[in-house]
Amino acid sequence: MRICIDSNQFIFGLSGVDAASETVLKLLPRLEAVIPRLILKEVTRNLNQVQVKALYALLNQAPHVIVVEDPVPANLVDKYVALGLSEKADAIIGAFAEWQEVKYIISDNRHFLDELHGNAFEVVTPEEFLHRYYWHSIREER
Amino acid sequence: MSQDITWKVPENLYRELVWAQQELKYPSLVDFIVQAVQRRLAEIKYEAWQRDFRQLQEQIHVSGGFGLGETKEEVITNLRKIRRQIFEEDYAHLY
């Protein structure tokens, strides 16, 4: 189950202001996740150098987390603009998810949750994701 | 590459290991021990990751947080602004 985590989840989880976001981040070593560079730039913009280094070290130590540097294909970005994401910056994230064959984007951004619809993936809140993750884990154990 | 080791264990621990290997139907005692050690190493790495994560949380807290707002809505609004800025600075020429 490959996922992508939106910048707001990193902010809420690292700040400790949202228990579900924090739990998702704490699960990172056990998850398969792809994160576009754009999202990490948003997260690290207000951190100092030591904190940025520590965050990248954590991501590097999570065995199945990949930070994707390559640009998202332009035709996919156009597709997500046409699907209703009026801002290209948001369309990049939708296009990224399809391009990287992500199953879930985890986000608390209502804008995203309401506007971003694709057949390729679902945008879910951290609570919804955790519910599905644990349900899936229990099924796998049986 | 592999490394030979000689491991002396108390008799009662040996008996327990053999019992567990047979109970869980591992082909050999070595297979059972290798997997047990690998699992424990994975746990240790996971615990170290959690510790480092908590340390980063503390660092961010001590330095005053992300400074993106008091409420979740404020944070999301500010993040949207930042996303737009970064897009204009680094990505707009690509799309």
CA distance B34 to chain A (A): 20
Distance from CA of B9 to the nearest CA of A (A): 32
pLDDT confidence of residue A136: 78
Q: Which residues, other chains included, contact B69 with Cβ-Cβ below 8 Å and sequence gap of 6+? A: B75, B77, B78
What's the gap in Å between the CA of B65 and the closest CA on chain A? 7
Question: Mean pLDDT for each 10-residue chunk of chain A (142 residues)?
Answer: 97 96 97 97 95 97 96 94 86 94 93 74 95 83 70
**B49 with A87: Cβ contact below 8 A:** no
pTM reported for the whole predicted model: 0.89
The three-state secondary structure class of A71 is coil
Q: Which of B52, B75, B91 sits opposite A58 (nearest CB)?
A: B52
How many domains does one find in chain A?
1
CA of A74 to nearest chain B CA: how many angstroms apart? 6
How many angstroms separate the CA atoms of B71 and B62, rounded? 19
Q: Are strands A104-106 and A65-68 parallel, antiparallel or unpaired?
A: unpaired
Asked if A7 and B95 come within 8 Å (Cβ–Cβ), the reply is no
| pLDDT tens digits, one per residue of B13-67 | 999 999 999 999 999 999 999 999 999 999 999 999 999 999 999 999 999 999 9
- Chain A hits for B43, CB-CB cut-off 8 Å, are none
Question: What is the pLDDT at residue A95?
Answer: 94
Q: How far apart are CA A98 and CA A15, in angstroms?
A: 29
Q: Which of A9, A22, A46 to mutate to test the interface with B (most CBs of B within 10 A)?
A: A46
**What pLDDT does residue A118 have?**
66
State which residue of chain B sits closest to A18, comparing Cα positions.
B72
Q: How high is the pLDDT of residue B42?
A: 95
Task: Output the domain CATH number for residue A20.
Answer: 3.40.50.1010
Cβ–Cβ gap B56/A55 under 8 Å: yes
Which token pair is A7?
A: 């910048």
Tell me how far apart the alpha carbons of residues A16 and A99 are, in angstroms, rounded to a whole number: 31
Q: Give CA separation, A103 vs A3, A6, A10, A98, A120, in Å.
A: 6, 13, 19, 9, 7
For residue A39, give its domain range: 2-141
Q: What per-residue confidence (pLDDT) applies to A42? A: 96
